[in-house]
Structure 1
């Protein structure tokens, strides 16, 4: 057990030492990241900015974007998140390269409306239609399916069971 603790300590310190050598040596191996990337420029060291605390904030922002191997670490992290079908920026990867917005997918899987809710919804639409007709306007109401309803076979694995059980419930209600 002590051997493993020693080995872990040596490896950790070695990695930190390598990062320190790269950083203080001015060696910043980076690659480009695609997408929207806001570059922070390295702040100039001035007495006034150091005293009012602005330099520390600007330097922290710059360093967060420019530490050695940052772009490689970001790319590896994104690849792991994508391949494990985790949510990245509210988007989840499904089968066949399809991407599903988490919010809309969950909304389509919440459940079916009962008869009272549907009747209430229809009454509200009829009210709106009547008010628009009084003003000489037409109401055009378009119901579109979500991607989850059109491509259920491509849903991420953790949404598929909810989709199929929801459809079974809906079929029972319709019958």
Structure 2
């Protein structure tokens, strides 16, 4: 399945068809406001600012499945991330990434790019999926992976047309 065939919602609860991002390189991330990895929002913003004019977008999906680390609404997360980390990339609706209620986008991402030892489960906040212009996963990054770890794969994906 191509992620461009899926729909989600914005933080303001507006429907959003991922097909609108066809042709862009995406970094899709499950995020939280009270996680030790939350400062990565600053790094994600730096990537977004550096590469957005080259067809790159970060999509953040707040997720409260891991130790209740995203207790606020999606709109609340928008305010927090903009105020604290200067986030200007799109923040989408709050979702689940694992289990029966997992959002179809994350079901597709996990199917295309399993984790360590082939596990499809997302183990923590700030798991990142780099998606190529064709809508297929290029690479999955763990929460521990930082901006520097993503630069080479991101730049290669941006070079592909």
Alignment TM-score, normalising by the size of structure 2: 0.20
Q: Which has the higher strand share?
A: 2
Q: Which has the higher helix share?
A: 1
- Relative CO higher for 1 or 2, CA cutoff 8 Å, sep ≥ 6? 2
Larger Rg: 1
Alignment TM-score, normalising by the size of structure 1: 0.19
